[in-house]
Amino acid sequence: MADTKRPVIDLTSLLSRAAGALGERVGALPNVLSKRSEQLRPRIAGAKKTPGVCPYCAVGCGTTVYSKGNTIVDIEGNPDSPINAGTLCPKGSATYQLHVNPNRITTAKYRAPFATEWTDVPYDWAMERIAQRIKDTRDRTFREHDEHGRRVNRTTAIASLGGATLDNEENYLIAKLFRNIGTPFIENQARI
Amino acid sequence: MPGLGTLYGLGGATTHLMDLQHADLIVIQGSNFAENHPVGFRFAMMAKERGAKIVHVDPRFTRTSALADLYIPIRSGTDIAFTGGLINYVLSNDAYFKEYVHAYTSASFLVHPDFRDTEDLDGMFSGYDPDKCTYDAKAWRYEIDDSSQPSSGGGEASVHEGGKRPKQDPTLQHPRCVINVIKRHYARYTPEMVESITGAPRESFLKLARMLVENSGRERTAVYAYAMGWAQHTVGVQNIRAAATLQALLGNTGRPGGGIMALRGHASIQGSTDIATLYDNFPGYLKVPTLEKDETDFATWSKAHTMRSGRWADFPAYAISLLKAWYGEHAQAHNDWNFARLPLNTGDHSDLPMFFSMKDGEVEGLVLYGQNPAVGGQNAALQRGAMERLKWLVVRDIFETESATFWKRESADPTKIGTEVFFLPVAGVAEKAGTFTNTMRLVQFHEKAVDPPGDARSDLAFTYDLGKRLRALYADSENWLDRPLLDLTWDYESDDPHERALGEPDVEKVMREINGYRIETGEHVRDAHDLRDDGSTACGAWIYAGMFPAPGRNLTRRRIADPANPASPEWAWAWPNNVRTLYNRASADPNGVPWSERKKLVWWDEGAGRWTGDDAPDFPPHTAPSYRAPDDARGEDAIDGDTPFVMLEYGRSEIFGVNGTADGPLPTHYEPRESPVGNALYPNVQYNPVLKEWRRRDNPYHAIGDPKYPYVVTTYRLTEHHAAGAMSRQLPWLAELQPAAFCELSPELAVEKGIRNGDWVTVETARGDIEVRALVTGRMQPFRLGPGRFVHQIGIPYHFGYEGEVRGDSANDLPPLVADPNVTIHEGKAFTGNIRPGRRDPFKAQTPEEEDVPKSEQTPFGNPERPGPVAGPGGKGGTVEAEVVPPEEVMAASRLVHELDERNAAGEGIRQHGD
């Protein structure tokens, strides 16, 4: 609801008028905007805009992700969203740093039993070994019947616990895969 | 959320955030709305600008309280006493919304003559089985009208076999009318009783009661907003049911500016409940079959969950469509839809039993998808200790979490920990496409902006890849027990070569499966009405049917805001059927006419022969108000045209809980599992008699009123941090805004204990000790429960751990594992503890981490036990021995201390607190 009567303040003209007034008194002054300032462009100028959603609380604020090439340059509130109208809270405003952050781990890591440190490992090796560990545990522990002879078709040795930032589609595949691996221990932050 | 589900039908917020601006009164209880959902709170502020009042009921004075018109302090864990008091006020003053209550609630139904209330049985309901320590909910039923015609085709989920109708007394005179039963149940919840239990000043309580009545009715509406402050209790579900009952009596549900705004904690909590990764639910709230109910074949399972009337009449169509979505051609009528291959539940397999089971060596492998139990879990030291027993652990996260490095923590010797740990980095939200469902059931799509760095992948890619690898490993298996994995439909390959090279599947292929499609033609289903029980449709989650009704029409990707309608119906898509205000047929009177011009939302258009208005009608669109369901009708056809709650058997909100709850048909005040005081209402039943507990030496409970642990402790969250901290303590921008773990305590308690602002203090429970900084503030205040009786409370944010830019002890090391009997949610919001000045003893053993629990204390799969009724101290609900100095005396002493302090600190300015 823009108030059309509100005067628009043009900072540049205001500054140059002020500089002009000063110039009359103390002689000619250069424009107070330096060449550098004049040439400065916002970080997001020319960036690709991608609509996103804030990953923190459950309000679901719309975000705009600005990127250049494969690099995120900024994440801001989406002014079109009827939920947040461009605003974000401190956490939402930090979504950029959630992504662009030197603390991020970007390689697969492995800690062998009794080891005191991580080792970087090839992603594919880690994936294959995880699949084998699941198969090994499942094959050793899978029970068709419980102690009363009732059919249960399951292993109670494998568990999955999901966090608060999983997409619906991710939850769907987790539910589908782990239920069919045969574990009843499928849980999520939603209960926690 | 059975709190809302059992009363209204669906486990979701009944309203949406934008609608808060239409409220005349906003009651926030069990939530620090302004700090934990700051942007959503702007709609509460809009309402305030338009003249609405905001009331905050909470143990802590927060920014929400500061922005409220009225703040009412309340001791943690006593919300039912407070809300019950409001129900009593409304009923005893005959101030309920009569036409609404008569028509849209079960008020006029007759409760069965065998039913006994807690008022009759000294704190227990009838139906209690002392051997099992559980209730048989069949004891809470209506009296059946034998003259009504039994209908055919009903399932067993109906409250009454054969679908016969309950007896009714439309005059509400009969003493067994639901409304009269409720009236008697709450008769002793007087303002005096409320004050003595909760510590809320009676004038403030009465003021709110009057405000609620004044702001409900045809012309005005009031809304309730709650969050974890209600959920995380051993009476969590009943806390919410109490408010839902009150809102039904005031006639506020299904109307603009009314209802219950459930504020879910995080981005996808609602989504993870809908598309459930929960042990007891399949996606779409279909209960997982369990041996507890002998659900060993499809027919038994399906029958147990099918109702004669309402949307659950189509349970078979939803369930068969799910099995078709999972197993494709391998699920056929002749093989019972592949049901025989599903794993069956045998009890409670939620996260709490999971960790006990891990500690006892039963669970040997765990996959953590962005979850950090080493900090976020209750009795967190036990959870860290349990992880040491794992053979293997997969951690998927964006940063190194405490759960990823539990083997490196201060008290651990890695050379003795045999767990094989895999850390796989994940994509951030902007690096992958998919949907989140927010707190108002709105499913919003986030697009992918850039590729994730290095090995980081979406959890979708990981799970898809893992499934492919497992299927390859089992490809040659002839063992029929491996068939479920091999029978799965598992093809979500992206058509985009770039995504394919990254191993990222096509998220819209997953969405299509969730939405549902016709198997023969591949057409997407338009909504859940298209689903069939003959195997001709597949659908992953029936409540999401309609979000993607045709190829190229993914409604969750819509981004058209409507300046004229704050609900913006074309912004994304809400389940069910894009309805923004649930049960909105209740916004019109029984004849289909809005209750008032000011509060109109959906109404009957006689000329057009359909419901119309500013929201999608949450009602069969062509069912006229005058429609009376014939006795042989089923499904939505069996719902009368003047009853709005289409998920429920009789279309009316069930203010007497005839189904679905484990701990009684009416919310009742019980003390938290750990409390410094006795139950003033029922001295012989101290706490919820059917709560879930684990009595083991690694999970010790404090005695009632234990003088070693005299204070109430509650945990909470900060604006600048997120859950267990993984997504905030690694971000310098956020870390420096809240750089240290602290606890809040009142000046009165601080003086009594000799604690000054900024000091190190140790908070102690039998589970462990933590050291944090003291924040001494008048925002915390002692609760006066009567002459000379005070209870102090301490609040601690729970975000901290031993990794990240800012570190600190974890508040979750303090609470015990104990849970609500309905949903196994823990009681992090109310337990007891002690506080003392100084840092913790680094050499003191952290009991839960280190001790082995003997077999005799273990239960199979970590299953919980029930306490049965436990009497409170002295049988009179009095305070316990713990000596409490009246705050006035303490404050007088404090002035002296203060003077000394000032003299010492003269010239120093702000005190610096180094280690």
Confidence of residue B8 (pLDDT cuts 50, 70, 90): confident
- Å between B360 CA and nearest CA of chain A: 11
Partner residue facing B267 (CB), from A54, A97, A169? A54
- Interface test with chain A among B292, B455, B717, by most A beta carbons within 10 Å: B455
Contacts of A91 in chain B (CB under 8 A): 719-722, 727-728, 734
Q: What is the pLDDT of residue B632?
A: 85
Q: What is the pLDDT of residue B70?
A: 98
- Let me know if domain B692-893 sits in CATH 2.30.30.20: no
Residue boundaries of the structural domains of chain B: 2-265, 271-344+512-556, 351-498, 692-893
Tell if the CB–CB gap between A167 and B451 is shorter than 8 Å: no
Q: What is the pLDDT of residue B850?
A: 62
- Å between B72 CA and nearest CA of chain A: 25
ipTM exceeding the 0.90 mark:
yes
Q: Which residue of A has its CA nearest to B506?
A: A169
3-state helix, strand, coil in chain A (%, to 5): 35, 20, 45
Tell if the CB–CB gap between B728 and A94 is shorter than 8 Å: yes
**Contact of B445 with B556, CB cutoff 8 Å:** yes
A102 contacts chain B (CB < 8 A)? no
Tell if the CB–CB gap between B447 and A166 is shorter than 8 Å: no
Over residues B189-197, mean pLDDT: 97
Q: What are the residues whose beta carbons fall under 8 Å from the beta carbon of B568, sequence distance 6 or more?
A: A82, B18, B560, B561, B562
Contacts of B462 in chain A (CB under 8 A): 127
How many residues are there in chain B? 915
- Asked, colleague to colleague, whether B351-498 and B692-893 share their fold, the answer is no
Partner residue facing B279 (CB), from A112, A123, A185? A185
Which secondary structure element, helix H or strand E, spans residue B8, and what is its range?
A: helix B2-8
Partner residue facing B271 (CB), from A133, A168, A176? A168
Over residues B123-141, mean pLDDT: 94
Counting other chains too, the contacts that B62-66 makes at CB distance below 8 Å and 24 or more residues apart are B62/B32, B62/B34, B62/B35, B62/B779, B63/B32, B63/B34, B63/B35, B64/B28, B64/B31, B64/B32, B64/B33, B64/B34, B64/B35, B66/B34
In the 8-state DSSP scheme, what is residue B743? Answer: E
Contacts of B825 in chain A (CB under 8 A): 191-192
Q: Which residue of A has its CA nearest to B449?
A: A50
Mean pLDDT of chain A: 90
**Tokens read off for B784:** 């006066």
**Contact of A130 with B758, CB cutoff 8 Å:** no
**Contact of B712 with B782, CB cutoff 8 Å:** no
Confidence of residue B207 (pLDDT cuts 50, 70, 90): very high
CA B123 to CA B875: how far, in whole Å?
12
Q: What DSSP string runs through B269-332? A: HHHHHHTT-BTTEETTTEEPPBGGGT--SHHHHHHHH--SBSGGGGHHHHHHHHHHHHHGGG--
Over residues B491-495, mean pLDDT: 98
Q: What is the pLDDT of residue B881?
A: 42
How many CA atoms, within 13 angstroms, populate the side-chain half-sphere of residue B627? 25
Partner residue facing B354 (CB), from A55, A87, A187? A187
For chain B, give the percent of residues with pLDDT over 70. 93
Residue B107 clears pLDDT 50, i.e. is over it? yes
Phi and psi based region of residue B803 (left: phi greater than 0; alpha: psi -120 to 50; beta: remaining): beta
Domain B2-265 homologous superfamily, CATH? Dimethylsulfoxide Reductase, domain 2 (3.40.228.10)
**Contact of B547 with B511, CB cutoff 8 Å:** yes
A137 contacts chain B (CB < 8 A)? yes
Residue A163 clears pLDDT 50, i.e. is over it? yes
Residue B21 clears pLDDT 50, i.e. is over it? yes
For chain B, give the percent of residues with pLDDT over 90. 86
Q: What is the pLDDT of residue A26?
A: 56
Q: Which residue of A has its CA nearest to B338?
A: A180
Residue B911 clears pLDDT 50, i.e. is over it? no
Q: What are the residues whose beta carbons fall under 8 Å from the beta carbon of A102, sequence distance 6 or more?
A: none
Domains and their CATH numbers in chain A: 13-38 (no CATH), 48-99 (2.20.25.90), 109-191 (no CATH)
Express each pLDDT in B698-755 by its tens digit.
Answer: 999 999 999 999 999 999 999 999 999 999 999 999 999 999 999 999 999 999 999 9
Q: What is the pLDDT of residue A62?
A: 98
Q: What are phi and psi of A172, to 5 degrees?
A: -65, -45
Residue A52 clears pLDDT 80, i.e. is over it? yes
Confidence of residue B912 (pLDDT cuts 50, 70, 90): very low
Residue B913 clears pLDDT 70, i.e. is over it? no
Tell if the CB–CB gap between B439 and A60 is shorter than 8 Å: yes
Q: Smallest Cα–Cα separation from B7: which of B816, B661, B457, B798?
A: B661
A9 contacts chain B (CB < 8 A)? no
Residue B906 clears pLDDT 80, i.e. is over it? no
> Within 10 A of B502 (CB to CB), how many other CB atoms are there?
18
Q: Smallest Cα–Cα separation from B81: which of B223, B199, B234?
A: B199
A144 contacts chain B (CB < 8 A)? yes
Q: What is the pLDDT of residue B299?
A: 96
pTM of the model: 0.94
Q: What is the pLDDT of residue B899?
A: 64
Q: What is the pLDDT of residue A30?
A: 58
What topology does CATH give the domain B351-498?
Rossmann fold (3.40.50)
Confidence of residue B3 (pLDDT cuts 50, 70, 90): confident
